[in-house]
A and B are shown apart, each in its own frame.
Chain A
Amino acid sequence: LAKTTQPISMDSYEGQEVNITCSHNNIATNDYITWYQQFPSQGPRFIIQGYKTKVTNEVASLFIPADRKSSTLSLPRVSLSDTAVYYCLVGGDNAGNMLTFGGGTRLMVKP
């Protein structure tokens, strides 16, 4: 199973860019990297997914270096509403290894 390691928590201020890095040293060739966001009392919500290099959508960017042993979720200009837990998942078509969410990173955005 591809194990992921993330910081337990991070603090930021409104308007700043936040980068959350996830380590996944034993990522497999067919594994994708996916990030989810979870607010209190809600189920996680998909943010972004990538395989290599850089992926950008309307809410975030995902940077993946050539060796794919880590990935960085970048949230531009965070607001108070971005306070949540962010989970990094690594896995592919082999059932089971996509399904380890881990503890996630608790992001606290302050005014």
Chain B
Amino acid sequence: GAGVSQSPSNKVTEKGKDVELRCDPISGHTALYWYRQSLGQGLEFLIYFQGNSAPDKSGLPSDRFSAERTGGSVSTLTIQRTQQEDSAVYLCASSLDRVTETQYFGPGTRLLVL
């Protein structure tokens, strides 16, 4: 079946602009995660959605970052007033339900802020 998909695959933007990154999880997966990975670094947790519960936003680095998940499926990560330090690969993952379940990752969106 289809895996996790993300779009766009690459995004180049200018400092100060807003960007939206999209994630389509695996059908039926109730848990969805966003991570950020800077070049050569590990994954940094951003936000976690579980079903209809309030999302765990504990990893969002600033109030410029926000995410929503519509209808328990597609998720959008929005970065407002982008800064050069926001340049990274943004990875989305989904799992069947709980955090103990295997996470399936998408290919990521490479964001470059000039």
- A residues apposed to B, CB below 8 Å: 32, 34, 36, 42-46, 49, 85, 87, 91-104
Contact = CB atoms under 8 A, between A and B. Distances in A.
Contacts of A101: 35, 42-45
B106 A43 contact: yes
B105 A44 contact: yes
Pairs A-B, 7 closest by C-beta atoms? A43-B105, A98-B99, A101-B43, A99-B45, A103-B42, A46-B102, A95-B56
Interface in B55-114: 56, 58-59, 91, 93, 98-100, 102-108
B108 A43 contact: yes
Given A42-B107, A43-B107, A44-B105, A99 B98 contact: no
Contacts of B43: 44, 87, 101
Contacts of A85: 42
Given A32-B100, A43-B108, A46-B102, A95 B45 contact: no
A91 B99 contact: yes
10 contacts: A43-B91, A43-B105, A44-B91, A85-B42, A95-B56, A96-B48, A99-B33, A99-B48, A99-B99, A100-B45
Interface residues of B, number: 25
Nearest to B45: A99
B105 A98 contact: no
B93 A95 contact: no
Contact of A91 (B4, B59, B100, B102): B100
Given A93-B99, A101-B44, 11 more contacts: A42-B108, A44-B103, A92-B100, A96-B45, A96-B48, A96-B58, A99-B45, A99-B59, A101-B43, A101-B45, A103-B42
B100 A95 contact: no
A93 B100 contact: yes
Nearest to A44: B105
A49 B99 contact: no
A103 B41 CA distance: 6
Contacts of B99: 91-95, 97-99
